[in-house]
Structure 1
Amino acid sequence: MKPEDTERNDWFGYLHILNTTFDGFDFGMFRDQLVAANWRLHDRSGGDSGDDGDSPANGQLENTYLKAKNGANEIGDAQAAAEFFRKEMTFRRYQYVTQMREGESVHQRARAAWQWTANALLDVTSGYGERPSRVIAFSAAVIVLFAALFAVAWPVGPYGGGIGYLLLSLESFITLVLGGGVAVDDPLVRLLAEVEGFVGAFLIALFVFTLTRSIHR
């Protein structure tokens, strides 16, 4: 492809790229086309393979995006490397589904299930470390969820109102209580607060990581 060919917005809708080594390829020259194709290199369809794991090419697709990521890193194209990394991890997750179905032993299937769960959780919470906005959204959901759990476990309610549950949840999430907070004697409520504090510390660290990573990208 020549530079003048970049005027087309559908180049990657006509290409089928598989296990290709990108040696000095300038992805930046085709930035608009890649964005329009949702950074897909391997097919003409509108989406990636599903989690059904039926595609026998998932391993090849993971390797395809690994090579694309490495090629982007070689030329210093951080944005392309990040997007190809997300694709690589997505197709790795699809392989775990196949392993869960076709594993020769219970141990292999259980291990694949755990790897799929960890991979999917990393995608949902942070977009594989590339989406700080996902960490914020997931953190907000955690705060609301624990506020609801506090309401169930502690009918009396803290701070004299319904919004007190949300405030208690936020305090537990960031492990910061002003003025001594409220006295909590119920062991279940204390357990919920400690669990949320642990999750909150993890998500705060994850947000710092993804934000720093996105800035460097």
Structure 2
Amino acid sequence: MTESEHPDNTQPATCCYHEDEGFSCHEVALASGLCYWHDPRVVKNKPDDKAKLEAFARSGGMLRGISLKNADLEGIDLVKHHSKTGFDMSHAELYRANLQGAHMFNLNLEHASLMKADLREANIHCANLGNTNLLGVKLNGARIENIYTGKRLKQERMALHAEKVGEMEIALDYYEQSEEIYRNLRKTADREGLFAMAGHFIRKELVMRRHQMRRWSWERMISKSIDLFCGYGEAPLRVIGFSMALIFVCAVCYFFTGLSYDGNEHVFSLSQSFSQNVMLFLNCIYYSVVTFTTLGYGDFTPVGVSRAIAAIEAFTGSFTIALFVVVFVKKMNR
């Protein structure tokens, strides 16, 4: 942000708010050099501020970077009617703003701060909250369908950067904040019946909790394994993927360690023809599926090292199938 030169006394000075992206405000400046809406020292809690801000937005005024810290704007209507895009309030400061019952459909709040803002019963459907500070925001009863929070929260990005440069104490603090935000979003989604969204947020919440655990600890490794295996119970397709991978890997092991059929041992050999080895591998796939599902038809039997592989696969398979049923039923019940 840069200070503009004040023109002569015959013309009022314009607001000096400016962004590197090229956005500038051209409203009349106050003594501070900023206009009424961009001046952070002016608290917008007068009785007519809500109507004035609505009129300012609809007249094409610049909403990017406006300061609404501690503003009382209960029930304000900031919906850009008859338009596919909403008003742009990027970089806006809404710390502790009272926005109860506000209409903020499709509003762009990217890089803004909603820290401790009161959004109870507000409509923020389709709002862009990418890289927005959502710490402590009150969302009871808020409509949050199709909100966009980005791949990572603002605090999550800062935590990853702090961890990368070795500032672990700072990183842990940001991970803790991220966990709190995801928990808040998850609870709100649950109350609103948005169970798919809630499932995404609970997974992110648990990932943030994992990052706070001591590196290379058993607790953290187990948590990571559960995430990879089933997405903390929110990704049943991962269980299927793991099952297919295990069946294939075990089939390869049987291919080289051998199986017994009709009293004869069948194992890969370069002396066999290509077609014979292909048929053997297909039989190994078949046996691996039968073993994984614990059907055990008995036509093929393991020999030597294959016995240990078959025992591990059967145990893992029975556990995996049971887990898939639990995860799948959980998702369907939602």
TM-score (norm 2): 0.52
Structure 2 match to 1:20: 137
In 2, the alpha carbon distance for the partners of 1:150 and 1:26 equals 55
Counterpart amino acid of residue 183 in structure 1: T
In 2, the alpha carbon distance for the partners of 1:169 and 1:89 equals 34
> Which of structures 1 and 2 has the larger relative contact order (alpha carbons within 8 angstroms, sep 6+)?
1
Equivalent residue for 1:163, pick from 263, 277, 282: 282
With over 3 angstroms needed to count, the CA separation of the structure-2 counterparts of 1:19 and 1:152, relative to structure 1, is: farther
With over 3 angstroms needed to count, the CA separation of the structure-2 counterparts of 1:185 and 1:148, relative to structure 1, is: closer
Check if 1:64 corresponds to 2:181: yes
In 2, the alpha carbon distance for the partners of 1:14 and 1:130 equals 24
In 1, the alpha carbon distance for the partners of 2:156 and 2:289 equals 45
Check if 1:146 corresponds to 2:250: yes
Assess if the C-alpha contact under 8 Å between 2:128 and 2:147 holds in 1. no
Cα distance, 1:136 vs structure 2 = 0.8
Structure 1 unaligned spans of 5+: 101-111
CA deviation profile, 1:97-142 (whole Å, cap 9, x unmatched): xx23xxxxxxxxxxx6211111111111111111111111111111
Assess if the C-alpha contact under 8 Å between 1:24 and 1:75 holds in 2. yes
Structure 2 match to 1:189: 306
CA deviation profile, 1:47-69 (whole Å, cap 9, x unmatched): 98388684231122112212221
- The count of corresponding residues between Structure 1 and Structure 2 is 196
Structure 2 unaligned spans of 5+: 1-77, 79-101, 109-125, 260-265, 269-275
With over 3 angstroms needed to count, the CA separation of the structure-2 counterparts of 1:127 and 1:94, relative to structure 1, is: same
Assess if the C-alpha contact under 8 Å between 2:186 and 2:201 holds in 1. yes
Cα distance, 1:215 vs structure 2 = 1.7
CA deviation profile, 1:24-79 (whole Å, cap 9, x unmatched): 22222xx1534xx24x444596x983886842311221122122212222333212
In 1, the alpha carbon distance for the partners of 2:239 and 2:148 equals 28
Cα distance, 1:19 vs structure 2 = 3.9
1:17 partner SS = coil
Assess if the C-alpha contact under 8 Å between 1:130 and 1:210 holds in 2. yes
Cα distance, 1:93 vs structure 2 = 1.5
Percent same amino acid at aligned positions? 26
Please say which structure displays the higher CA radius of gyration: 2
Structure 2 match to 1:121: 225
In 1, the alpha carbon distance for the partners of 2:156 and 2:290 equals 48
Check if 1:132 corresponds to 2:244: no
Structure 1 match to 2:106: 6
2:302 partner SS = coil
Equivalent residue for 1:77, pick from 162, 186, 194: 194
Assess if the C-alpha contact under 8 Å between 1:17 and 1:43 holds in 2. no
2:105 partner SS = helix
Structure 2 match to 1:49: 160
Cα RMSD, aligned residues only:
3.0
Counterpart amino acid of residue 105 in structure 2: D
Counterpart amino acid of residue 258 in structure 2: W
Structure 2 match to 1:106: none
1:183 partner SS = strand
